[in-house]
Amino acid sequence: MRALRSAIQLIFIAALFTGCTLEQRLASSFVKLDPKPQVYLLEPDHIFKYNLKEFELSGSDTMDQVVKDSLLLEKSLFLNTFSDSVVIERLMAGMISGLKRSGLSVIPESDVDSLLGQGGNPFILNLAQFTLEEYIHPYRSEEEVYDEIIVIDGIDVNAINFNLWMELGIMNSEMKNRVLFYSDFLMDKISGTLKQNLMTGKMSFDYSIDTISTGWIKEFAYKFGTISASYFYDYLLNEYIGEKLPDNYPYERYYYHFDPERRLIYPVDESERLTEIKE
């Protein structure tokens, strides 16, 4: 009985390995495509900004939404400290850098004549909506002290959500446009140390808060762009795998990430990918 169970386990492991190997071969073939896939990149017109700290506005629950949004934006600590054009420029610089690093050929928005003249099936990636949301984020961390886990919480910090909706189409194709979404956040930095009272044994956390600056927002916009670009490449890669797999493929699919620096392809979970918004 034990021998039979072991044999079944070996067959199962071999099947998983076979499926994974086929998917990785297809992923590798996508990475090696020549000529490289082209992407015509369209930048957002402006940034939608929202201050979600409604507790700062007395009587907000009875206000018209447009009035409330306007008053809250006036009270924002960060969203009025920069121009849209500067942050969009950093976002686009990060996107272009990330797309090129992954191996895609980028057609700038200004080169529309070249796009129309060359034909083919380049991808059209429209950064349709870019939003920033200011809010309060509860800070929490865990520290191990003498084999005991100390939870540090009860501290509120400022944070900004970066949200990006991308509309994907293919030129000269009947494929319906798809909407992809990615989000990440920037928050105040906390520096601190745990201290123990020698008399009572009670632990305390002494800390200072370094508040978000305009420079941080610009730097994060660039980083956000590079990660969005990397995840977009992964989306194309995994779509390619799905298109090339046989219709009767019997194994559960993995989702792969391509690391262009190390030239590695490996599975990732749902936290490291774009979300496709279904209608």
Of residues 164, 134, 139, 170, the one with CA closest to residue 56: 134
Report the first-to-last Cα separation within the chain, whole angstroms: 50
Determine the pLDDT at residue 3.
54
Q: What would the pLDDT profile of 104-137 be if each residue is shown by its tens digit?
A: 999 988 888 777 777 789 999 999 999 999 999 9
Q: What would the pLDDT profile of 234-271 be if each residue is shown by its tens digit?
A: 999 999 999 999 999 999 999 999 999 999 999 999 99
List beta partners, residue 164. 130, 182
Contact residues for 183 (Cβ-Cβ < 8 A; gap 6+): 161, 162, 163, 164
Of residues 186, 182, 184, 188, the one with CA closest to residue 219: 186
Give the count of alpha carbons within 13 A of 110, CB side only. 0
Q: What would the pLDDT profile of 158-204 be if each residue is shown by its tens digit?
A: 999 999 999 999 998 988 999 999 999 999 999 988 887 778 878 88
What token pair was written down for 26? 């297809």
What token pair was written down for 99? 């797309």
CA pair distance 21, 73, nearest whole angstrom: 52
Mean pLDDT of the chain: 90
Q: What would the pLDDT profile of 257-266 be if each residue is shown by its tens digit?
A: 999 999 999 9
- The pTM of this model reads 0.88
Whether residue 1 is predicted with pLDDT greater than 60 in this model: the reply is: no
Determine the pLDDT at residue 205.
86
Alpha-carbon Rg for the chain in angstroms: 24
Contact at 8 Å (CB) between 160 and 214? no
List beta partners, residue 180. 166, 276
Work out the average pLDDT over 40-61: 92
Q: What whole-number percentage of the chain has pLDDT above 70?
A: 93
Contact at 8 Å (CB) between 87 and 218? yes
Q: What would the pLDDT profile of 5-17 be if each residue is shown by its tens digit?
A: 444 443 433 444 4
- Residue 264 belongs to what H/E stretch? strand 264-267
Whether residue 227 is predicted with pLDDT greater than 90 in this model: the reply is: yes
